[in-house]
């Protein structure tokens, strides 16, 4: 037979594309880089629209943004010098560490500091910052809707309380003010951004000045606190000195300690009395008088010595307190001089200048970021769309849904091409080597390839639902086989539409299916010639029913035996498999079956259900034919052979 050595691959190279297009329903995680490229190509319009709309919205938003001028001031933290104690005249130098730098940066970023900065700049009275002083926004339906959704505040700003106004001013100033710390150089940068270039410089410089003044005030307060402490200490020491002086004076006065001769005289008298007492050893009365006088002199000496010792102690304490008093007064004088000549622990090393050009909005970079972001959003939308799209988009979709091989894919023909040639079978007759003709020839090959010699194969063309091009393919296969020298019979069992027989201009038949298989009407009454040589068509009365198990009868077996003897190929066009159960009754007489599905029309679930029912009914399904593939879009779905001008000429 003429088809025995014909290639089965067909014009679409199904083996080449089977592994290139993954099933979207298998999960987004299974997508590879090539799959993403293919998805992007298939959904180019969606990605382009999302990206274009995103860029347009971004450009609109940028055009509505005010110009932003940035200015920066810098301050450097210095090592602070603190007294070692309250009276010592030496200081301890504390170096600046990273923790201190970041701590001071937090102070500069605190809401309390920003509040004081707003008060210093008197921004409370600035309508650019205080919404209560600005013009109220006009009411609109959109504004009310957004307010009801809680997306914006629709309260009249003129009704804000004083605290709310301050909060609003501080919030806006916080959005324009930023602090950056550099631990390496102990430098803190204060940046301000504002639509007013002069104000941006004022904010940065005012922040630096306020911070330095705050540090200076803290240092002054510390020195004042220390001076007050030393002053109080000096008063206490002075009081102690006065008390000690009084005690010394009292001791001197009461014990006559200023007269140094008194002690010598008492010692001399005591020595004399001892001598006289030794001489008057026998005179008891005189001896008694001398002993009494000696005791008085001894007590007087002891009292005087005790007073002198006490005086020495008081004078030593007095001297010590006097030295302390002098040291405190000296340190107090030094603190007063230090207070007058103090240096803050921070200095402004650069002033913020009025910027000459705006910093933003950054049109180019923002649009570039928006381009990337919305493009990725478009790709994500395309992936989700593919994931949710259950239509047959590629051979891999059909094969994964059914487990059957895709035999070929047929390109969609242009309407003017169909009109010019009278339908798909006319295209076959006109261009036997075109893409459509080669695809149909691959279908014919699939059903005659393994046919037994002398026994014409019966091939059924089925589809899940109507509108998938089943009848067009059946008539095209019949014309293709006849052009290749086979004698073909097309049996149009789709009695409800009769698309294949009508396209071949077959004569109407008033007899029913039951009349044929009951042998009431001869077989020849159902067969008529077509305009194509070696191609006959068998038709039946429209809407006639197919009796149950009619093909299991001996009459049916005899009829098909006759047909097989008279023809080389029998093609049976049937009703849609899911629309009519009559197609399932043909398993007894059909050798091969081809399942037709239309590209981007049939859902995978319907295709899978049809494949299961056909297999369960006993059909030998040789494969699937994807019909109506657009050659101009086919490459994005894994169809490669339709992309040349040779194949796309005349196709959609």
Q: E-strand spans in 496-614?
A: 527-529, 535-538, 569-573, 592-598
Backbone angles phi, psi at 416, to 5 degrees: -70, -30
Dist CA 650 CA 652 (whole Å): 7
Are the C-beta atoms of 459 and 563 separated by less than 8 Å? Answer: no
Residue 355: CB partners within 8 Å, gap ≥ 6?
Answer: 69, 70, 71, 197, 200, 201
pLDDT value, residue 155:
62
pLDDT value, residue 23:
43
Q: E-strand spans in 336-427?
A: 346-350, 406-411
Is the previous residue joined to 343 through a cis bond, with omega within 30 degrees of 0? no
Based on its alpha-carbon atoms, the radius of gyration of the chain, rounded to whole angstroms, reads 57
Q: How far is CA 360 from the centre of its chain?
A: 24
* Nearest Cα to Cα of residue 82 among 328, 357, 335, 251: 335
pLDDT value, residue 133:
86
Instruction: List, for residues 81-92, the tens digit of each pLDDT value.
Output: 655 455 455 555
pLDDT value, residue 81:
60
Q: Among 48-57, 394-403, 516-525, which range has the highest average pLDDT?
A: 48-57
pLDDT value, residue 3:
45
Q: Is the pLDDT of residue 419 over 50?
A: yes
Query: Which DSSP state fits 360?
Result: B
pLDDT value, residue 634:
57
For the entire predicted model, the pTM comes to: 0.55
Which residue matches tokens 């629709």?
A: 154
Average pLDDT along the chain: 82
Are the C-beta atoms of 505 and 474 separated by less than 8 Å? Answer: no
Which whole number is the average pLDDT over 1-20? Answer: 38
Are the C-beta atoms of 351 and 205 separated by less than 8 Å? Answer: yes
Instruction: List, for residues 555-603, the tens digit of each pLDDT value.
Output: 888 888 899 999 999 999 999 988 887 788 888 889 999 999 998 888 9
pLDDT value, residue 153:
60
129 versus 146: which is more confidently predicted? 129
Cβ-based burial of 536 (10 A; exposed 0-12, middle 13-18, buried ≥19): buried
Q: How many residues does the chain have?
A: 652
Which whole number is the average pLDDT over 378-405? Answer: 87
Task: Provide the pLDDT confidence category of residue 470 given band limits of 50, 70 and 90.
Answer: very high
Helix (H, G, I), strand (E, B) or coil at 142: helix
DSSP one-letter string for 621-641: EEEEEEEEE-HHHHGGGT--T
Sign of the Cα pseudo-torsion (328, 333, 339, 345, in order): negative
Name the percent of the chain in helix, strand, coil, to the closest 5.
Answer: 55, 15, 30
The angle subtended at Cα 577 by Cα 571 and Cα 583, nearest 5°, is 55
């Amino acid at each position: 037979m003429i088809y025995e050595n014909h290639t089965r691959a067909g014009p679409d190279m199904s083996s080449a594309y089977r592994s290139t297009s993954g099933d979207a329903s298998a999960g987004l995680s299974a997508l590879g880089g090539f799959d993403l490229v293919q998805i992007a190509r298939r959904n180019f319009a969606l990605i382009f629209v999302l990206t274009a709309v995103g860029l347009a919205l971004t450009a609109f938003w940028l055009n509505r943004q005010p110009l932003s001028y940035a200015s920066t001031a810098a301050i450097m933290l210095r090592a602070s010098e603190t007294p070692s104690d309250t009276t010592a005249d030496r200081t301890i130098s504390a170096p600046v560490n990273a923790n201190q730098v970041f701590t001071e940066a937090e102070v500069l970023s605190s809401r309390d500091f920003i509040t004081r900065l707003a008060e210093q700049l008197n921004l409370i009275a600035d309508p650019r910052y205080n919404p209560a002083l600005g013009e109220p926004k006009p009411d609109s339906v959109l504004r009310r809707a957004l307010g009801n959704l809680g997306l914006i505040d629709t309260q009249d700003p003129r009704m804000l309380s004083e605290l709310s106004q301050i909060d609003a001013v501080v919030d806006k100033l916080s959005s324009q003010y930023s602090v950056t710390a550099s631990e390496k150089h102990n430098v803190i940068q204060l940046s301000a951004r504002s639509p007013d270039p002069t104000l941006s410089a004022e904010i940065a410089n005012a922040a630096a000045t306020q911070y330095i003044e705050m540090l200076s005030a803290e240092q002054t307060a510390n020195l004042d606190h220390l001076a007050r402490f030393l002053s109080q200490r000096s008063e206490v020491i002075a009081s102690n000195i006065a008390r000690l002086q009084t005690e010394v004076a009292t001791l001197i006065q009461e014990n006559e300690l200023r007269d140094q001769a008194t002690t010598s005289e008492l010692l001399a008298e005591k020595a004399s009395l001892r001598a006289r007492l030794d001489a008057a050893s026998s005179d008891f009365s005189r001896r008694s008088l001398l002993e009494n006088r000696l005791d008085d002199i001894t007590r007087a000496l002891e009292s005087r010595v005790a007073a002198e010792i006490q005086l020495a102690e008081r004078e030593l304490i007095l001297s010590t307190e006097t030295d302390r008093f002098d040291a405190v007064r000296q340190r107090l004088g030094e603190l007063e001089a230090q207070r007058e000549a103090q240096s803050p622990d921070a200095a402004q090393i650069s002033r913020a200048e009025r910027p000459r050009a705006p910093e933003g909005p950054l049109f180019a970079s923002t649009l570039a970021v928006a381009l990337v972001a919305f493009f990725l959003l478009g790709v994500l939308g395309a992936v989700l769309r593919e994931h949710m799209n259950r239509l047959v988009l590629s051979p891999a979709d059909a094969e994964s849904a059914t487990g059957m091989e895709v035999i070929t894919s047929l390109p969609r023909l242009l309407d003017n091409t169909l009109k010019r040639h009278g339908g798909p079978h006319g295209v076959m007759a006109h261009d036997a080597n075109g893409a459509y003709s080669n695809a149909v020839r691959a279908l014919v090959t699939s059903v005659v390839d393994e046919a037994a010699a002398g026994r014409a194969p019966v091939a059924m063309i089925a589809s899940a639902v109507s509108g998938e091009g089943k009848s067009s393919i059946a008539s095209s296969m019949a014309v293709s086989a006849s052009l290749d020298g086979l004698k073909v019979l097309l049996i149009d069992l789709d009695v409800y539409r009769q698309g294949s027989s009508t396209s071949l201009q077959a004569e109407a038949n008033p007899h029913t299916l039951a009349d044929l298989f009951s042998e009431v009407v001869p077989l020849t009454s159902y067969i008529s010639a077509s305009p194509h040589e070696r191609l006959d068509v068998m038709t039946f009365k429209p809407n006639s029913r197919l009796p149950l198990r009619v093909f299991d009868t001996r009459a049916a077996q005899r009829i098909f035996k006759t047909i097989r003897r008279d023809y080389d190929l029998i093609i049976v066009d049937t009703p849609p498999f899911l629309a009519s159960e009559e197609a399932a009754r043909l398993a007894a007489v059909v050798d091969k079956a081809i399942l037709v599905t239309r590209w981007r029309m049939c859902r995978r679930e319907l295709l899978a259900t049809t494949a299961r029912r056909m297999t369960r009914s006993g059909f030998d399904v040789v494969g699937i034919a994807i019909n109506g593939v657009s050659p101009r879009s086919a490459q994005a779905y894994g169809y490669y052979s339709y992309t040349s001008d040779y194949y796309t000429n005349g196709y959609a």
